[in-house]
Chain A
Amino acid sequence: MPLLQMKNVDINYRMKKNEVKAVRDFTLDINERDIVGIIGESGSGKSTLAHGLMRILPRNGYMKASEIKLNNKDILNISDEEFRELRWIEMSIVFQKAMSALSPVHKIFDQMYDTILAHKPQVSRNEAEEKLSKLLEIVNLPKKTLNMYPHELSGGMMQRVMISLGLIFNPKLVILDEVTTALDVITQGQLLDEIKRLVNEFKLTVMMITHDVGVVNEVCTKIAILYAGELLEYGNVKDIIFEPFNPYTQALVESHPDLNPEGSTLKGIPGILPDLINPPESCIFYDRCKYRKDICKNGKPELQDYKGRKVKCFRVGELHG
């Protein structure tokens, strides 16, 4: 039984005159202990998806779906108050911009203690301090960090604080929303090692949102390719990176330096994202696809099971038969 089941998720943003359809018909099951990299370029809807799952979309955003289940429990049709009770206990999120993810004028301890109090009001200050010091130790931060303010820490340290904050109640599912994006490569490497260690230690299931194929390759077990709000391919990381079936995945892998043989020329993907206010009726990647044929213009391809993974492409059988 998968830990997280999402069926036909649509997320739209209301604008003044029209709506941006940021995520469309997204269906994905995440199994327990999977580390799923959700990858896509800017505007592909990957963060929107995470925010939708956490019910923290901006006021003009709303989500529709036919089913969302966490731990076999419906989390789609429950009230905000019911949802509040499972926040952080069942799933937590670590944000991209760690430096501004906590209040600048409150001590880190106060903010972490309030996190505990939000769900366990009976915990005393001393108990909290003990628990939090241990937690910080696990992410390699000194105890005195608790008495500091966010601006007194570096970006990497703040990201560790945010990760430890997300682990306070030892939730099953942790969403990492571009946690390494704002960091330099060295800090990024250290943090990725740490994340790998924590995943084992806390037995986590992780949804890792990133635009960096290299990061996914290093940490994740599964990869989901998101393009312009649609899921194009999903499967084991190694399979997909070594033999991408969807033309977009292929183009994405070809444009990443670490995944290509040395000396080979990197390829960009010509063209731009399609208009998300009126998304095309054809295959979503049609405009930029180098394998496109006339059949690709006729309606949308289904997400199909193909050779142990899920792929959305009319010509997958033909190209990878």
Chain B
Amino acid sequence: MYRLSFLCSFLEVKGLSSLGRFIIRRTLSIIPMVLLIVAINFFIIHLAPGNPAQLISGLEQPSPEVIEALEEQYGLNQPLIVQLGLYYRNIFQGNLGYSFIYGTSVNGLIFERAGATILLTVTAAIIAFIIGTLIAVWVGRRKTKVLDSIFSVLAYIFYAMPSFWLALVLILTFSSTFKLFPTSGMFNVRESYEGFAKIGDVLYHLALPCATLALIQIPVFFRVTRSSIDQVHQDEYITTFTAIGISRKKIFKKYVLKNAILPTITIFGLTLGYAISGAALVEIVFAWPGMGRLMLDAVFRRDYNLLLGIYFVMAVCICLAILITDIVYALVDPRIRY
């Protein structure tokens, strides 16, 4: 970040606000960060044993000539550093290459799956954030030990629950027994809905996988917000406001909440960052056509390009999520200045 200080001094001349400068500086700093991540991923993947040319050929024992021809075709015979250079060039041209296995462009594969994944994970994260925080606020205001204990125990139970198991239990309960929700997929493949009917159908299919993810994430938001509220209650300014005679309600609504929500914002931002990588286990159980499954397939089938492409998109998303978190944080907490 500090390497770009020359840019900052340039921007200062333009008279931008400090927040504006911060946003530009952080956005620019994402570029070298992502390039570095790509390089690290690139080398790590190539450390793995096995030759992709063999997989591409689709043969048990391909002849050396076939291997050589394939290596020539895909540039796999070049030194690693040259391959990395080529990869960088392609990235800058917006081309993540071709999947060895699917034989189509990685861009297309990721684009196809990203929407489904983001729909699932972001919806779940938002629901978990809202519900977890609300419960924490509700419990935190009452300060009754019983409520607190009940929710703490529940939080531990759900947090410790394996996601695929919870998914199966939900399917068993709500799909098999009560027949309220579909067991899997994203659409009803027997119907071709349009417009609102289609949206309704997707939401209908979304309910269970989303509930699974949300139930497991709610405890995180609950615990963080809960302990944060407790902490803030012990802060000295709360004593000041009590001594002044400001009503408890106002102290809580205006002062405790704003101070207590800060760590929750960070957690939410990080959750969003990992949203693109999907939730492989839940996606598999519900046959949700998302990134998690795509990535798992790519790992098992040694599809270097696809894997690198997914990692690249993930890196960009995480960096962006952290950037947005930092900006929101800066807007809420005036102590953060850059």
A interface residues (Cβ-Cβ under 8 A, vs B) = 54, 56, 84-85, 87-88, 92-93, 95, 97, 100-106, 111, 114-115, 118-119, 149, 151, 165
In the complex, which residues of chain A have a beta carbon less than 8 angstroms from the beta carbon of B247?
84, 118
Residues of the B chain whose Cβ atoms lie less than 8 Å from the Cβ of A105: 258-259, 262, 332-335
**Given A95-B236, A100-B236, does the pair A106, B244 have CB atoms closer than 8 Å?**
no
Known contacts A105-B258, A106-B258, A149-B334: does B246 contact A114 (CB below 8 Å)?
yes
User: Can you pick out 14 interface pairs between chain A and chain B where the beta carbons lie within 8 Å of each other?
Assistant: A54-B243, A56-B243, A84-B247, A85-B245, A97-B236, A100-B235, A101-B240, A103-B255, A104-B333, A105-B334, A111-B237, A114-B246, A114-B254, A118-B244
Besides the known contacts A97-B236, A151-B334, 15 further A-B residue pairs in the complex with CB atoms under 8 A apart:
A85-B245, A88-B245, A92-B244, A95-B239, A101-B236, A101-B240, A103-B237, A103-B255, A104-B333, A105-B259, A114-B241, A118-B247, A149-B335, A151-B335, A165-B244
How far apart are the CA atoms of A84 and B244 in the complex, in Å? 8
Within the complex, the shortest CB–CB distance from A124 to chain B, in Å, comes to 18
Size class of B's contact patch?
20 to 34
Instruction: Say yes or no: B245 contacts A118, CB within 8 Å.
Output: yes
Flag whether B242 is at the interface (Cβ < 8 A): yes
* Contact partner, A106, options B242, B245, B255, Cβ 8 Å: B255
CA distance A88 to B244 in the complex (A): 5
B236 to nearest A CB, angstroms? 5
Bound CA–CA A299/B193 (angstroms): 92
In Å, the complex CA distance between A101 and B335 comes to 15
Say whether A92 contacts B243, CB under 8 Å. yes
Return the chain B residue nearest A50 by Cβ.
Answer: B243
Task: Give Cα A84–Cα B246 distance, bound, in whole angstroms.
Answer: 8
Structural contact, B240 and A118, CB atoms closer than 8 A = no
CA distance A88 to B262 in the complex (A): 30
Which among A54, A88, A104, A151 has the highest number of chain B CB atoms within 10 Å? A104
User: Which 5 residue pairs spanning A and B have beta carbons closest together?
Assistant: A87-B245, A118-B246, A149-B334, A84-B245, A100-B236
**Could you tell me if A115 and B258 are in contact, using CB atoms closer than 8 angstroms?**
no
Q: Which residues of A contact B145 (CB under 8 A)?
A: none
B241 to nearest A CB, angstroms? Answer: 8
State the CA gap A119–B244 with chains docked (Å).
Answer: 9
Q: Which residues in window 235-293 of B have CB below 8 A to A?
A: 235-237, 239-247, 250, 254-255, 258-259, 262
Residues in A neighbouring B244, C-beta threshold 8 A: 87-88, 92, 114-115, 118, 165
- A58 CB → nearest B CB, Å: 9
By a CB distance below 8 angstroms, the chain A residues around B254 are 106, 114
- Could you tell me the distance in whole angstroms from the C-beta of B330 to the nearest C-beta in chain A? 11
Question: Are A88 and B334 closer than 8 Å at their CB atoms?
Answer: no
Residue of B nearest to A119 (CB): B245
Residues in B whose Cβ lies below 8 Å from that of A56: 239, 242-243
> In the complex, what residues of B have CB within 8 A of residue A92's CB?
243-244
Q: Using Cβ atoms and an 8 Å threshold, which residues of chain A touch B262?
A: 105
| Contact assessment for B240 and A95 in the assembled complex, using a CB-CB cutoff below 8 Å | yes
Q: Name the distance in Å between B120's Cβ and chain A's nearest Cβ.
A: 33
Is A104 in contact with B335, judged by CB distance below 8 angstroms?
yes
B259 touches A88 (CB 8 A): no
Q: B259 and A103: CB pair below 8 A?
A: yes
How long is the Cα–Cα vector from A115 to B237 in the complex, in angstroms?
12
Question: Once bound together, how far apart are the Cα atoms of A88 and B258, in whole Å?
Answer: 24
In angstroms, Cα B86 to Cα A165, docked, is 65
Docked Cα-Cα span, A56 to B244, in Å, equals 10
- Bound together, the chains give a CA A8 to CA B247 distance in angstroms of 30
8 Å CB interface, B129-149 against A: none
Instruction: Report yes or no: A115 in contact with B335, Cβ–Cβ below 8 A.
Output: no
B258 in contact with A102 (CB, 8 Å): no
Chain B residue with Cβ nearest A89? B245
> Are A100 and B237 in contact, with the CB atoms below 8 A?
yes
Q: Give A95 to B254 CA distance when docked, in angstroms.
A: 21
Point out the residues of chain A lying under 8 angstroms from B255, CB to CB.
Answer: 103, 106
Partner of B259, one of A54, A97, A104: A104
Task: Write out the residue numbers on chain B whose beta carbons fall within 8 Å of the beta carbon of A151.
Answer: 334-335
Residues of B within 8 A of A102 (CB): 237, 240
- Which of A92, A100, A103, A151 gathers most chain B CB within 10 Å? A103
Shortest CB-to-CB span from A11 to chain B, Å, is 16
Expressed in whole angstroms, the minimum distance between the Cβ of B204 and any Cβ of chain A is 41
A244 CB → nearest B CB, Å: 33
Smallest Cβ-Cβ distance to B262: which chain A residue: A105
How distant is B297 from chain A, measured CB to nearest CB, in Å? 46
